[in-house]
């Protein structure tokens, strides 16, 4: 079947995996005519030791790379880019439920501490793909599936870890098993602390996870709940290379710049087999986040001293930028399968509420700025596939209707109230494709998809605040238009017992692309603007080769070519430029050898090509190419005890994965600035099955 991992049978309804009905709307199968990468539970457990889920994906997903503001993968803030496209334009879901902030459209995984220990699988689709719920699948979609409990026996497990930069983690899980009446629950708790590699980027995070319900023969009621709280020292400023040469861990933000956020998500899902042909899925969800984001500045000018450290007076002027989100939604999903025909349709509706304030501490009770916003969306999709012998045809359409309403703080703006500001968008996103099985080993596929995406609130504001300077422009509709992409994909898949290859070419043609230009607005967020005509094209490949039962070679590569036909920056015209932060070549390779049944050793390497920092493509402002290697040793001491050791950046190379023009010492001279990545570092993990 093309769109789902369900296994339908006319002889037995019980062969349907009801726990996977909820993800049928967003998942692509091996025959889907879109490039995708899948990580199983076994593959997740091999590399996972508490890091954000995005940091697990680099080795397996072509064209994907990450960066960390703290210099570590464990806590604090991290981001990814896929085909050079930033995280706000990638669709994230958990069991089909959107994880993106629907107004700003990003995902902050520092608020989802250690959630990956509860995943059954991860799928990454590149390009427009087949995703149907949440923000537009623009650069791609990444969907997570929580543990399938129905097929599991009861278990208790614990994981302890420690490593460089005072990183410590403890994680505990317990599953009751499914009792005679069909009830079963799993709980998990995690604690993680880290000092971070960069100065003042320490983290302290806790999380709790609950999943389970009633598992019947023909239906399932499942509850999934996750909550986490993280306190992070902030490190969102890139630092000039001249400073990093003297002090690699320098951070111009002080210990007073800290955020403290909590996030939760409650899902209630009911899946039922209606007949031999029909299954139904109903999901209700409520999620939210709230917290403080403080920013301290000295009452007097800072003094930049010889060692490039910062010495401040003890009196600080501290501002707080708290926010609160509430996200309430529902999903209806129905699947029909008969013979060679498969049909899937569904509705998704949500309300997303946001409160933004600005305060001068310690006077939290009297904010000087308060603004409310609300985003409502209703979307419908239908997908169908039909198999004609060796050829499978696929069609898909999604219709999204979204409205954003903003309640300004007119006292702050300084004018009489003129009511709320509203925006409306409607998008029709069609996709078609074919998959042809040449023989048992080779299949060919091709697809076309079109997707539209609205600007974020920060895009519309040109910043984080609505004030007298931008009010009239925002009231008139803002300076941003919605963006569109036409995505063409063609690929080939080859599989035999020793070798698997998956390669694809793509061409993405953009209209009014909302792309970063290199400059910062504030707090590490880059300024973006519409680019009338631009494109991205390239080639991607994934491979696994097993010459013997003990030796495995695996890897992926991605070649990317980008083009911006023309743009105007600071009154000057530029033509035929490349996008920023879009490396032309990314190569990952890994070799694993199973010395004994209980001992394996893996060595991996990663090459990341050069990237421009700003759109004029000034060669002075580039992120240099880099190569980094990691070593992993895993020993299964007994069925209940596993020890994993990691040496990251094995050869102690200096490397960067993100950069921007910077001037943190206020010299008036822009230099290339970077988020520095860590020197050689170590981590040890112990897994106990009790």
The 10 Å Cβ neighbour count of residue 381 is 23
| Joined tokens for residue 87 | 């995280």
Mean pLDDT of the chain: 90
Residue with tokens 């079963």: 184
H or E, element range at 526: strand 525-545
Give residue 307's pLDDT: 37
Cis (ω within 30 of 0) for the bond into 575? no
**Domains in the chain, CATH or no CATH each:** 13-689 (2.40.170.20)
Sign of the alpha-carbon torsion through 25, 30, 33, 39: positive
Tokens 């999901």 belong to which residue?
283
Q: What is the pLDDT of residue 146?
A: 94
3-state secondary structure of 118: helix
pLDDT tens readout for residues 524-571? 777 888 999 999 999 999 999 999 999 999 999 999 999 999 988 888
**In the beta sheet, which residues pair with residue 591?**
553, 603
Beta strand 85-86 with 167-175: parallel, antiparallel or unpaired?
unpaired
Q: Judge whether 566 and 88 are in contact, CB under 8 Å.
A: no
Task: Indicate if the pLDDT at residue 304 is higher than 90.
Answer: no
Tell me the C-alpha to C-alpha distance, in Å, between residue 39 and each of 116, 198, 528. 12, 31, 33
User: 428-465: per-residue pLDDT in tens?
Assistant: 999 999 999 999 999 999 999 999 999 999 999 988 89
Cβ contact 93:144 at 8 Å: yes
Query: What contacts 472, CB < 8 A, 6 or more positions away?
Result: none
The secondary structure of residue 581, as a DSSP letter, is: T
Is the CB of residue 69 less than 8 Å from the CB of residue 150? Answer: no
The string of pLDDT tens digits covering residues 644-666 is 999 999 999 999 999 999 887 77
Of the pLDDT bands very low, low, confident and very high (cuts 50, 70, 90), residue 24 is confident
What's the mean pLDDT in 605-624? 95
Asked if residue 5 has pLDDT above 60, the reply is no
* Residue 144: half-sphere exposure toward Cβ, Cα within 13 Å: 23
pLDDT value, residue 298? 57
Cα gap 148→184, rounded to integer Å? 11
Question: CB pairs under 8 A, 24+ apart, for 368-372?
Answer: 368/412, 369/409, 369/412, 369/465, 370/409, 370/412, 371/406, 371/407, 371/408, 371/409, 371/465, 371/466, 372/406, 372/407
Q: Which of the four pLDDT bands, split at 50, 70 and 90, describes residue 309?
A: very low
Q: Which regions of 454-524 does DSSP assign to beta strands (E)?
A: 483-495, 499-522
């Amino acid at each position: 079947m093309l769109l789902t991992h369900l296994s339908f049978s006319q002889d037995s309804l019980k062969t349907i995996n009801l726990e996977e009905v909820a993800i049928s709307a967003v998942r692509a199968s091996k025959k889907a005519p879109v490039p995708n990468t899948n990580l199983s539970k076994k593959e997740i457990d091999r590399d996972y030791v508490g890091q954000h889920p995005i940091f697990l994906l680099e080795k397996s997903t072509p064209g994907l790379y990450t960066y960390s503001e703290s210099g570590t993968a464990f806590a604090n803030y991290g981001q990814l880019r896929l085909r050079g496209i930033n995280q706000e334009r990638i669709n994230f879901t958990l069991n089909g439920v959107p994880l993106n902030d629907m107004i700003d459209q990003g995902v902050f995984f520092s608020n989802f501490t250690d959630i990956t220990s509860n995943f059954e699988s991860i799928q990454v689709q590149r390009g427009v793909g087949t995703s149907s719920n949440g923000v537009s699948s623009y650069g791609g979609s990444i969907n997570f599936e929580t543990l399938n409990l129905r097929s599991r026996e009861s278990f208790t497990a614990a994981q302890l870890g420690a490593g460089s930069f005072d990183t410590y983690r403890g994680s505990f899980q317990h599953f009751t098993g499914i009792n005679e009446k069909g009830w079963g629950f799993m709980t998990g708790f995690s604690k993680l602390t880290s000092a971070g590699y960069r100065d003042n980027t320490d983290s302290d995070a806790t999380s709790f996870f609950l999943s389970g319900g009633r598992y019947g023969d023909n239906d399932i009621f499942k509850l999934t709940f996750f909550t986490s709280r993280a306190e992070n020292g902030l490190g969102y400023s890139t630092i000039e290379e001249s400073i990093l040469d003297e002090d690699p861990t320098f951070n111009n933000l002080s210990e007073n710049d800290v955020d403290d956020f909590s996030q939760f998500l409650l899902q209630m899902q009911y899946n039922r087999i209606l007949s031999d042909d029909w299954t139904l899925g109903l999901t209700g969800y409520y999620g939210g986040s709230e917290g403080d984001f403080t920013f301290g500045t000295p009452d007097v000018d800072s003094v930049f001293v010889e060692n490039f450290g910062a010495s401040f007076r003890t009196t600080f002027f501290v501002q707080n930028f708290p926010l609160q989100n509430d996200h309430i939604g529902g999903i209806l999903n129905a699947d029909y399968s008969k013979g060679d025909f498969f049909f899937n349709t569904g509705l998704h509706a949500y309300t997303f509420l946001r409160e933004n304030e600005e305060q001068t501490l310690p006077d939290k009770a009297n904010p000087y700025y308060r603004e409310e916003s609300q985003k409502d969306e209703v979307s419908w999709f239908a997908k169908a596939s039909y198999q004609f012998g060796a050829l499978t045809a696929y069609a898909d359409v999604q219709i999204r209707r979204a409205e954003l309403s903003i309640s300004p703080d007119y006292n702050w703006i300084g004018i009489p109230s003129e009511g709320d500001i509203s925006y409306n968008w409607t998008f029709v996103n069609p996709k078609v494709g074919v998959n042809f099985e040449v023989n048992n080993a080779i299949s060919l596929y091709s697809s076309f998809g079109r997707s539209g995406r609205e600007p974020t609130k920060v895009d519309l504001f040109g910043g984080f605040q609505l004030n007298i300077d931008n009010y009239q422009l925002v009231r008139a509709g803002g300076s941003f238009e919605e963006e569109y992409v036409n995505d063409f994909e063609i690929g080939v898949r080859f599989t035999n017992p020793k070798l698997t290859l998956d390669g694809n070419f793509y061409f993405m043609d953009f209209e009014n692309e909302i792309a970063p230009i290199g400059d910062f607005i504030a707090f590490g967020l880059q300024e973006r603007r519409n680019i009338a005509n631009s494109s991205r094209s390239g080639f991607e490949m994934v491979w696994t080769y097993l010459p013997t039962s003990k030796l495995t070679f695996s890897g992926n590569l991605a070649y990317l070519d980008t083009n911006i036909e023309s743009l105007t920056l600071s009154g000057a015209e530029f033509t035929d430029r490349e996008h920023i932060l879009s490396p032309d070549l990314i190569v990952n390779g890994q070799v694993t050898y199973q010395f004994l049944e209980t001992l394996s050793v893996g060595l991996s390497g990663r090459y990341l090509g050069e990237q421009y920092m700003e759109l004029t493509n000034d060669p002075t402002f580039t992120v240099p190419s880099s190569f980094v290697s990691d070593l992993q040793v895993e020993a299964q001491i007994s069925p209940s005890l596993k020890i994993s050791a990691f040496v990251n950046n094995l050869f102690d190379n200096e490397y960067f994965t993100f950069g921007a023009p910077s001037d943190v010492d206020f010299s008036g001279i822009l230099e290339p600035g970077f988020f520095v990545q860590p020197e050689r570092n170590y981590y040890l993990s112990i897994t106990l099955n009790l």
